[in-house]
Every structure is written in C-alpha cells, then in structure tokens.
Amino acid sequence: MLAVVAALALLSQSPGLLNGRFEQGLTSWSRATYGAEPTVTTPLTGHRAGSPALTISSEAPTDTAFGQDVPVAPGQLYRLTGWIRSRNVDGHGAPVFAAMVAQNAGGAGNLAATSNHGGTQDWAKETVYFVGPASGRARVALFLAGWGRGTGTVSFSDIELEPANADRSPIRITKTPLPGRINPMQYGQFIEYLCDLVPSMWAEKLYDGSFEGLTPYKFVFVKETDFKEKPWYPFGERNRLKVDPDTSTAISGPTSKRITLTEGGPATGGVAQDGVSVVRGGKLRFSVYVKGTPGRLHVALLHGDRRYSGGDMPVTGLWTKVSCMLDPSATDEAATFSITFDGPGTYWLDSASLMPVDSVGGWRTDVVTALKNLKPGVIRVGGSVLDDANLGTFEWKDTIGDPDRRTPFTAWGGLQPTGPGLEEVVRLIQAVGAEPLICVRYEKKTPKDAADEIEYFNGSLGTPMGALRAKNGHPKPYGIKYWQVGNERWGESYWNGVPAFCRAMRAADPRIKLLSSFPSAPLIKGAAADLDYVSPHQYEVANLSGTRAELEDVRRMIRENAGGKPLKLGVTEWNTTAGDAGLMRAKLWTLDNALACARYQNLLHREADLVEIANRSNLTNSFCSGIIQTDRSRMFLTPVYYAQQLYASLAGTIPLRIDSELPGDLSPDVSATLSEDGKTLTLFAVNESPAAVRRPVDFSAFAMVGTEVELTTLTDTRNAGHGDAANSFEEPNRIVPTESRRRFASDRFDFTFPALSLTVMRWHLR
C-alpha cells in the first residue's frame, strides 16, 4: 500500500516525462528526420561531469527532432528546463534550430520554445513555460533543425518537466518603454476581391446586373449553401418568351440580355430575380440600360400575388438609361424583382441596378458603421486575384470610370459587381479614416504599368492619368501613401525586378512609401535602397513562438543585408489560417480564434520597433475569416472584430516593459501601453486557458493607490466553458465586450482573469 501511495505522489509531482536525463539511452524518445540522416549518440558529456547527453550532428542539411508526448493537466502551468550546447550550428533559414520546444501532442503546433542556439555556444540552461492544452497531452521536442534544413552539432542534457505555480509571480508594469512606438497601422484590415467578400459590403440588391451569367466559387466552406447568388429567369407569359444572351450589342461587358415576346396577341413578359431583401420605407433607386420596341418598361417588387412597389419607364428604341424610385410597402427578406414589358416586341437589357437610397457611396450603411467603429489604421487592397490571372480576370483599369460601362470580372470564380471598383474601395477606406495600402500587379506587368496606377490616384491634373481621373469625376488626387509591389511574390525574377518597379513608382510620386512582397536575403540585399518595408504573410499566428521566430528571422535578414537601412515590416496579411477549406474553417468565428488573434496583437506591441503595419485577413465574409459577416439583410460581428476594436480603440502608442519571472506571453499573455501624452495606462491580458487564472498585478511604479480602474472583458456571456463559442446571425451578441469599474485599495493586488477571456484594464493617471 505504501508503494502505491509513493507512486501516486511521484505521479502528482511529475507530468510524466520519461528518461529526461538520457540515462537509458534514447528510450521513450522518438525521432523524426527529413533530409540527411544525422549521427545520433548519447555520450557522457552532459553539462555535469559524467552525465549523459543527447547529441545530434549532421554535415548535410537535415530536419531532425527528438520528441516525447506526455500527459498534462489542461490549464496547468508547466516549466520545461534543460541544458543546450551547440557546435557550428547553421539553421539555413529554419525558424527553429538547436532549441527545445513544447508542442501540442504529435507536434501539432508550438506552445513555447527556447531561443535558437546558432554557431558555437557552451552549455546554457534554458527554461520555458507553457499551459497544458485542453487535449491533456503535450510534446517535448528537441531540435537540431525544424521546418527547414540545419547543419552542425547540438547536445541536450538534463531535460525536466514539472508543474509550476504562477499565483505568486506578479505581473509588474514598469515605466520603461520597449523600443519603438506602436503604430495605429498595426490594427490594419484587408479587402480583396475574393468570391463574395466585396459584394457582401456593397449595397446592391441585384446579382449579375451586367447579365453575364453567374459562376460558382472555387473555395468551399459549406458546399450545399455557399453559393447564394440568385440568377435571372424568364418571368411572365413564358410560352411567348425567348430570353437569350446577346454579344452583338452591350453596355457593360460583352453580353446583354435579349428578351423577345413573340408575335400574337398582347402579352407581358421579361425576367425576374428572387431573394431580394427589402425594408418597408427603405427607398430604392432602380436603373437599367434598355433598347428595343418603343413602349414602356415595367418593374415591380412582389411576393407571389402581393405587390410591394413598382414603376414604369419609357423605352425609345436606342440604348437609353432609365430609372425610377421604389418605396416598398412591407419588409421581406425574399422578395421577387421583375422587369417586364408589353409585347409583342424585343427588348435588350444591360447594367441593371437596384440600390438603397441610404447607401454610403454604394456601400452598406451597417458595414460602413461597423468599419468606422473598428478604427482601422490602414486597409490593404490586394490579394491573389490582383496578381494571379489563374484566379480571376481583374484589371484595375477596368474598374474605373462609369460603373455602368465597366467590364465585369470574376474573382476566385465568383462574378463581381461592376459598381465597387478600386476607386470606390479607396473612397470607402478614406471615408472611415484609414490609410489605403494598394497592392500593384507584378505578374506580366511593367514598371510603367505600376507608375500609371500611382499617377492615376496621386497625379496632378497636368499628368495624363491625373487628367483621366478628373474626367472620371474626381479631380482631387487621392494622395495614397502606401504601395506594395506584387502579392506573395518570390524568386529570382521578382527579386531582380523590384528595383525597377520601385524607381518608376517613386518617379510618379516621390512621397510614397513602398513595400515588397515576401522578404528574403536576396531581395533585401538588392532592393533595400528602394524599399521602406518588407512584407511577410503570417497565417499561423496561433503558433506564437513560431510566429515570433519568423519575425526575428526577418529582423536578422534586414540587419545582415540592408546595408544599415532601417527597413520596417508590413505584415500585409495575417490570421490563424489561410486554408482549412470546409467545415473546419468555422473555427475563425470562435472565441478561441479571437484570443489567438489578441495574443498576436500583444506580440506586435512587443515588436513595435520592427512591425509598423499589420493587416488581418479578411474584413468581411470570406468563408468565415471576415470579422464582419453579412447576408442579404443582416450582419453580425465576430469575436475577433471586438478584440481588434478593443486594441485599436484603447491601446496607447508607447509599449512598456513588464517585469515577471514568467514570460509575458503565458496565460495571461500580457501587454502594457502608455498613451503618447502619458496620461492613460492600459494593460491587455489574454487568458486562453479554460480555467480562471489568478495573478498578482503590480502598478506601484505609477503610484496609483485608490485610482479607479476601467475594466473591459471580452468572453462568452453564456459561460459555456469552451472556446468554440461564437456569434451568429441568430445570436449576434453572445460574445461582446462588457464594461465595469473597480477601485483597488493598493497598487499591488491579486486579480482573477476569467477563463477564455481578453481583459483590458485602463487607468487615467494623475
């Protein structure tokens, strides 16, 4: 019985790491190798005389790690310690090398990692902390190199894993600033032509107003319901109707709709579209280009035999734009809109639009309000379609000028409306107070093409493209400051071509700031003189240690290759995933995802001297990644929206150092900021754990005894206890910020951070 009690006591003290001192060779450790086979030994050359060590050595590039899955308690804090020695280690670009890492079970993402031990370094003790994941399993991994190719020799000795107690480790906020200033452009957003992203923001009630024919998306979330667009169909006395596309005459794009009521007695017919959302008293302006048999064109909003509104317009014979106002007498999320005429005769239709009168420059009022309240510092316009002809038919010059006469294009398969062109997107961005960041096409384009685009938006009336802009109705230059050369470009052709693009673009406007596509040593070495930013995309930000390592790797590349120029980073796309097509993509709606994104914002605060711009992907819909979700009539805001809003609205510009014996990115993951005028102190704390976490908080450096604290908490208002909770059209306010105020007797106090929460504390300093 005593033996059983002793065994249970031992188990309660240890999470179960076996053979951490390698006294039994490699028993309990498994190896994963990609690339060259390394030499692996366990000699008695550990950090203590006569103690064993795991030694991994390779002269040829290898990706090698030893790992062991161990049981852990979900939400429990753990301390992983060990000794590391390196000999001539070169990571060859790998984000992790000569390092000890805590991972999710099976290596499915990092929880915490030591620093990399490059070159030759003597034995050094490393300690990392992590919180036990909800699965109850974690992996201890020892890397020569991972996610890349490394060479050299690394040794590990005395690896230990034990529970840790954070209850008495204070979070001490200091007055010491971290390097750099937090730029409001760290709270950036991203708009791209991706399936229904832009249409979901546009107020237009009709699909396929150019009558080109609808096309399905190339991306899948729920394939049974993804494609929501409604087609035009024959309507009226169909036995007398012929409805066909006609490429011999058109206004917008190559096709118009030809409708014929065949010879015979009087008849009425045309086309209709279902699923039109209308609101009682919500006035709509209908317009269409029409030609054909002189007479009258009839339009109606109806549902079955109930008519909500209608109007008549004359048809003179030649192509003419006609319009009328409609004032629905009822609210209906699925009304039918019909366009008919009295025959016999033939009519042609093109460039049809049914637009709410209260739209904001054509954009949905609810979306514009949500975007203003989000307070984005910068909004990037770019994405794959702008620089990949395989994904769409976008050309920026096709999206300017008269919207009725623009050429329709597809994006990821989906037909885009002609109304929201690049110029309308820029106006939206500037209207909500953000800086536009425009990505110019690199693929199959020339430096002059890029310069023309800048001249169009920024040039004076005395330039050819500036004059064209004025002709299109906007004589004043837009003054767009930030421009990116290409989207997700990589390789020697791009590296060699960037300088010429940059010089042509600066010649069009010397005041602009230029960003590259993906950073690399050759790009930085060859183009640093012409660039202001290099731009990685980070789509695994839930793996915070790996993400941090990527940023530090770019910092190193700049230091080694930029010739002393202080290039900054513009992370022009980031999220927890760029893929996961299918049902798993719904995780982007969840509270868990909001907390992962909030931790990334804390990381950006700590890297403020390097990262000035960060654009979360994406703004709307986008198969769950949009922080604003809409259907034809409704909108809900995801938990990530509220997290982003809190950072953009409440953070100061000065990042502060936090003293703690525990790392600042544990649960709670913390960041402290001070306003530029020094009057407001803010602490952001992210607790991803399914359990509440109690920690001492120390603000004594600011002598604020008795000061009232403003508290804002973002968590599940239903307290379901799991991070899969999400908002929806049916329950839009399940996860929203709640506000309160507290007064603490001391500037040192214990605080309980709720489970699965983002907590924001604000003090107004005396």
Q: DSSP labels for 572-589? A: EEE-S-S---SGGGGGGG
Label the pairing between strands 188-192 and 611-616: parallel
Q: Does 589 score more than 80 pLDDT? A: yes
Look at residue 304 in the predicted model and tell me its pLDDT: 93
What is d(CA 25, CA 43) in angstroms, rounded to the nearest whole number?
9
**Among all chains, which residue has been given the structure tokens 């009839």?**
298
Look at residue 290 in the predicted model and tell me its pLDDT: 98
**Among 306-315, 654-663, 722-731, which stretch is predicted with the lowest mean pLDDT?**
654-663
Side-chain-side CA neighbours of 292 within 13 Å: the count stands at 27
What is d(CA 105, CA 139) in angstroms, rounded to the nearest whole number?
5
What is d(CA 173, CA 195) in angstroms, rounded to the nearest whole number?
45
Structural domains in the chain, sorted by start: 15-163 (2.60.120.260), 186-201+359-545+566-586+612-651 (3.20.20.80), 233-356 (2.60.120.260)
User: From the CB of residue 701, how many other CB atoms can be counted at a distance below 10 Å?
Assistant: 15
The mean pLDDT value for 127-142 works out to 90
Locate 707 and state its tokens: 């000061």
Look at residue 284 in the predicted model and tell me its pLDDT: 98
Look at residue 55 in the predicted model and tell me its pLDDT: 96
What is d(CA 504, CA 283) in angstroms, rounded to the nearest whole number?
47
What is d(CA 272, CA 235) in angstroms, rounded to the nearest whole number?
6
Look at residue 665 in the predicted model and tell me its pLDDT: 66
Locate 356 and state its tokens: 């709410």
Q: pLDDT tens-digit profile of 151-204?
A: 999 999 999 999 987 777 889 999 999 999 999 999 999 999 999 999 999 999
Q: Does 424 score more than 60 pLDDT? A: yes
On whether the CB atoms of residues 549 and 517 are closer than 8 A, the answer is no
Look at residue 131 in the predicted model and tell me its pLDDT: 83
Name the band, by pLDDT with cuts 50, 70 and 90, for residue 6.
very low
What CA–CA distances, in Å, run from 40 to 363, 635, 690?
62, 57, 39
- φ, ψ dihedrals at 468, nearest 5°: -65, -40
Q: pLDDT tens-digit profile of 227-277?
A: 899 999 999 999 999 999 999 999 999 999 999 999 988 999 999 999 999
Burial 666-692 (b: 16+ CB within 10 A, else e): bbbbbbbbbbeeeebbbbbbbbbbbbe
On whether the CB atoms of residues 482 and 438 are closer than 8 A, the answer is yes
Name residues whose C-beta falls within 8 Å of residue 742's C-beta, 6 or more positions apart in sequence: 708, 709, 711
Full-model pTM:
0.87
Q: pLDDT tens-digit profile of 290-334?
A: 999 999 999 999 999 999 999 999 999 999 999 999 999 999 999
Look at residue 115 in the predicted model and tell me its pLDDT: 86
Look at residue 664 in the predicted model and tell me its pLDDT: 61
Q: pLDDT tens-digit profile of 332-369?
A: 999 999 999 999 999 999 999 999 999 999 999 999 99
What is d(CA 634, CA 636) in angstroms, rounded to the nearest whole number?
7
Locate 452 and state its tokens: 């023309």
On whether the CB atoms of residues 284 and 328 are closer than 8 A, the answer is yes
Q: What is the DSSP string of 408-462?
A: P-EETTEEPPSSS-HHHHHHHHHHTTPEEEEEEP-TT--HHHHHHHHHHHH--TT
Q: pLDDT tens-digit profile of 63-90?
A: 999 999 999 998 788 999 999 999 999 9
Share of the chain above pLDDT 70, in %: 97
The mean pLDDT value for 121-149 works out to 90
**Among all chains, which residue has been given the structure tokens 């090698």?**
64
- In residues, how long is the chain? 766
What is d(CA 261, CA 268) in angstroms, rounded to the nearest whole number?
8
Name residues whose C-beta falls within 8 Å of residue 225's C-beta, 6 or more positions apart in sequence: none
Look at residue 219 in the predicted model and tell me its pLDDT: 87
* Cis geometry, peptide bond prior to residue 184 (ω within 30 degrees of 0): no
On whether the CB atoms of residues 447 and 503 are closer than 8 A, the answer is yes
Alpha carbon 762 to chain centroid, angstroms: 27
Look at residue 366 in the predicted model and tell me its pLDDT: 97
- Among 548, 646, 562, 550, residue whose Cα is nearest residue 604: 548
Burial 497-520 (b: 16+ CB within 10 A, else e): bbbbbbebbbebbeebbbbbbbbb
Q: Does 705 score more than 90 pLDDT? A: no
What is d(CA 509, CA 292) in angstroms, rounded to the nearest whole number?
48
Q: Does 626 score more than 90 pLDDT? A: yes
What is d(CA 590, CA 724) in angstroms, rounded to the nearest whole number?
5
Name residues whose C-beta falls within 8 Å of residue 5's C-beta, 6 or more positions apart in sequence: none
Q: Does 11 score more than 80 pLDDT? A: no
- Among 577, 762, 570, residue whose Cα is nearest residue 672: 762
- Among 760, 644, 762, 650, residue whose Cα is nearest residue 187: 644
Label the pairing between strands 332-343 and 295-303: antiparallel
